[in-house]
Structure 1
Amino acid sequence: MIGTRIYSRLEVGDIIIFHHDWKLLVKRIAAKESEQVEHNGASLTVPEKSYYVLGDNAERSLDSRYWEDPFVRDEEIVA
């Protein structure tokens, strides 16, 4: 897989590669900063410079829905 970090602004629906728990993951942005998400029965606001991500294969994807800290920070994004 080849990824590049050439973007001006990430949007909902964009696919990103990022670091999480010492691994590189590929997920789709489901919500960006200031947007509301339902996470484990609670309504959360995505923090500044952060994203809530989901895998395209929702039934088998370990993504924001299952993480204790469900947000990907801008500095964790590789491509």
Structure 2
Amino acid sequence: MNKRIIIKEIISWVLVIAVAFVMALLINRFVIFKVEVPSGSMENTIMTGDRVFTFRLSYLFSDPKRGDIVVFPFPDNEQVDYIKRIIGLPGDKIEIRNGILYINDEVYEEDYILEPMEEEDFGPVVVPEGCYFMMGDNRNSSMDSRYWINKFVKKEKIKGKAIFKYPKFTWLN
């Protein structure tokens, strides 16, 4: 075989691999990223050790919704990322009385909670404009907005919406 043909073939493969690598970096940086869940605060929706794909562009043209599972920097230490469920939207009044969650003075029913919350009281608090109140699905083992110094997550701090988990392949929300 001609040396020129071999060199052209090698260069074309190197270019394909380089373009694929750059595309993967751009997708990871601007579209989708993966997180590994280190705790049981979202069990049984997301188990300890599960990996979750998060879509960075979810809220580019819409606002987060109650029930969305999102990744964000922990408000009391932004070096650490948390994954929780949005419970309170801007303007919502959040309160827990005797282990029952109330949103705007109405009991909030949640079908993803496997055990009742411990008999505790919290609030009431009103979620500021542009912010969200977060809770883990495993309410009795979740360090969430109820316990943080800075109780709310600003919309611009939300890194993305969890859309898919594995190794037990499941779409979220």
Residue identity matched to 1:9: D
Residue by residue over 1:10-53, the C-alpha shift from the partner in whole angstroms, topping out at 9 and shown as x without a partner, is 11111110001121110001111000012764322100110000
Structure with the higher fraction of residues in strand conformation: 1
Structure 1 SS opposite 2:156: helix
2:157 and 2:122 mapped to 1: Cα distance?
A: 26
2:138 corresponds to 1:46: no
In structure 2, stretches of 5+ residues that fail to align are 1-51, 97-120, 161-173
2:84 and 2:137 mapped to 1: Cα distance?
A: 7
Q: CA RMSD in A?
A: 1.6
Aligned to 1:68: 149
In structure 1, stretches of 5+ residues that fail to align are none
2:112 corresponds to 1:55: no
User: With structure 1 as the length reference, what TM-score do the two structures score?
Assistant: 0.88
Residue identity matched to 1:67: W
User: With structure 2 as the length reference, what TM-score do the two structures score?
Assistant: 0.43
State which of 64, 69, 72 in structure 2 corresponds to 1:18.
72
Higher relative contact order (CA 8 A, sep 6+): 1
Count of residues in correspondence between the two structures: 79
Identity %: 35
2:58 corresponds to 1:3: no
TM-fit CA distance, 1:2: 2.0
Residue identity matched to 1:29: I
Q: What stretches of structure 1 move > 4 A for 4+ residues in a row?
A: none
